[in-house]
Amino acid sequence: MASLSLEHINAVTAKQDSLWGTVSVALSEAVNRQATLASPLVTLLPLSELENALTGKRVYGTATLQTTTAHTVIITLETSSAAALADIAVGGDGSNPPAEIEEGTLQVLQQVLFVLGNGLAQSLANLTNSECNLLQVEGRHDVIEPPIEWLTQDNLLRMDAVLQVSGLDDGWQEKRKSQLRRHPRRQPGQVPAPSSCWRKLGRWRNSPLCRWRKPRRSLCLLASS
């Protein structure tokens, strides 16, 4: 089996906008609102560094794609992003995500992961002008375990993107305003209310020096050659 190289990175990078565009459309239709996978980044990830690169439990799906042969890819979501998507998928606005990824939530996310996998299959079919079908997706909330067939690989192809969902930030803003209303601005001589700390933090987060302004890539796709 051929090893992944810089040539593979360049080839995928040249087509990633089209790839993520198709996946974004599929996700948008599924959640009934505009969803975009932006700021994509393609890198090589040594298999030996997988455990350190993606630490801890997260929601992920092991998807099997069928072309002329079967290929396995892993689609991962940060827990916070997965919880927000689960809330949206059941009719919420993303501002009241489940506190824990339990069995019921994972069943909802299984459908989200299937939509993402199916969008990926459609994208690959369009890019290669050949048939590509999604056979199955197995969703889990756990530490990522590479498939057995990956163990012969030196490197994996890693594709990261920022998940943006229309209205998601608005829902969070309304929830935050509600919290601030419960902690009104203090009068002279009063002990500072918790909201004043949040206002100071908010000013810092909006500062051009703040590292939190960097886009958080909440979706990650892993594939082998």
Q: Is position 55 within any domain?
A: yes
Q: Are 17 and 122 in contact (CB under 8 A)?
A: no
Give tens-digit pLDDT for 81-128: 999 999 999 989 888 999 999 999 999 999 999 999 999 999 999 888
Q: Is position 98 within any domain?
A: yes
CA distances (Å), origin 114, targets 117, 156, 191:
5, 21, 51
Q: In the chain, what percentage of residues exceed pLDDT 90?
A: 48
Q: What is the CATH number of the domain that holds 49?
A: 3.40.1550.10
Q: Is position 50 within any domain?
A: yes
Give tens-digit pLDDT for 193-223: 444 444 444 543 444 334 333 445 689 999 9
Domain that holds residue 208: 6-185+193-223
Residues with Cβ < 8 Å from 184, sequence gap 6 or more? 193, 195
Q: For the chain, what is the domain count?
A: 1
pTM: 0.76
Q: Is position 1 within any domain?
A: no
- Give 184's DSSP letter: P
Give the Cα-Cα-Cα angle 148, 149, 153 (nearest 5 degrees): 110
Torsion from C-alpha of 63, 67, 68, 74, nearest 10 degrees: -30
Q: Residue 21: name the closest of 124, 168, 138 by CA.
A: 124
